[in-house]
Structure 1
Amino acid sequence: MSYSKFTTLTEVLDKFGLSVVYDQELFPSVTPAPPGELLVATLDEYLPLALAIGTEKARSELLIMPVLAEVRRQLHAQISLFSGVDFNVDPKQGLNGYCDYLLSRSRDPFTIQAPVFALVEAKNEKLVTGLGQCVAEMIAAQLFNQRANKPLSPIYGAVTTGELWRFVKLEGTELTVDRDNENLNPLERLLGILTTIAQGAT
Structure 2
Amino acid sequence: MSILKPERSYTFSDYFEMNYPPEDILAELGYRYRLTKLDLPRGTVKHSLDNLRNMFYRKLPHISLNSETAKREVMIAPILLELLDEIDVKIDIEYPIYVSEHLKGNLDYWIRSLQNFLIVEAKKSDMEKGFTQLAAELIAMDQYLPSDDPDLFGAITVGDVWRFGKLERAAKCISRDIDSFRVPLDIHELFQVLIGILSHHQPSQAN
Category of TM-score, reference length = shorter chain: 0.7 to 0.9
Q: Report if aligned partners of 2:117, 2:152 keep a CA contact under 8 Å in 1.
A: yes
RMSD over aligned Cα, in angstroms?
A: 2.4
Give 1:157 shift. 0.8
**Structure 1 segments unaligned to the other structure (5+ residues):** 107-114
Query: Are 1:35 and 1:187, in contact at CA under 8 Å, matched by a contact in 2?
Result: no
Normalised by the size of structure 2, how large is the TM-score?
A: 0.78
One-letter amino acid of the counterpart of residue 82, structure 1: D
Match of 2:153 among 156, 159, 162: 156
The alpha-carbon deviation at position 44 of structure 1 amounts to 4.0
What's the CA shift for 1:159?
0.8
User: What is aligned with 1:57?
Assistant: 69
Q: Is contact 2:36–2:178 with CA below 8 Å preserved after alignment?
A: yes
Any conservation in 1 of the 2:118–2:154 contact (CA below 8 Å)?
Answer: yes
Alignment match of 1:24 (pick from 37, 41, 44)? 37
Equivalent residue in structure 1 for 2:112, among 90, 104, 114? 104
What pairs up with 1:95-174 in 2 under 5 angstroms?
95-105=103-113, 117-146=117-146, 151-172=148-169, 173-174=172-173
Distance across 2 between alignment mates of 1:41 and 1:63 = 13
Matched, 1:13 2:39: no
Query: Number of aligned pairs?
Result: 185
CA 1:57 to 1:11, structure 2 compared with 1: closer, same or farther past 3 Å?
A: farther
C-alpha spacing 1:153/1:44, structure 2 compared with 1 (3 Å): same
Q: Is the CA contact (8 Å cut-off) linking 1:101 and 1:119 kept in structure 2? A: yes
Bigger Rg, structure 1 or 2: 2
Match of 2:12 in 1: 3
Task: Give 5+ residue unaligned stretches, structure 2.
Answer: 1-9, 203-207
Aligned counterpart for 1:74 among listed residues 79, 82, 86 = 86
2:30 counterpart of 1:47: no
Measured against aligned partners, the alpha-carbon deviations of 1:8-63 in whole angstroms (never above 9, x if no partner) come to 52354122221222132333x8456254566346434543345x332111111111
Distance in structure 2 (CA, Å) of the matches to 1:86 and 1:98: 4
Letter matched to residue 83 of structure 1 = I
Note if contact 2:23-2:32 (Cα within 8 Å) is conserved in structure 1.
Answer: no
Contact 2:96/2:106, CA 8 A, preserved across alignment: yes
Contact kept, 8 Å, 2:15 with 2:129, in 1: the verdict is no
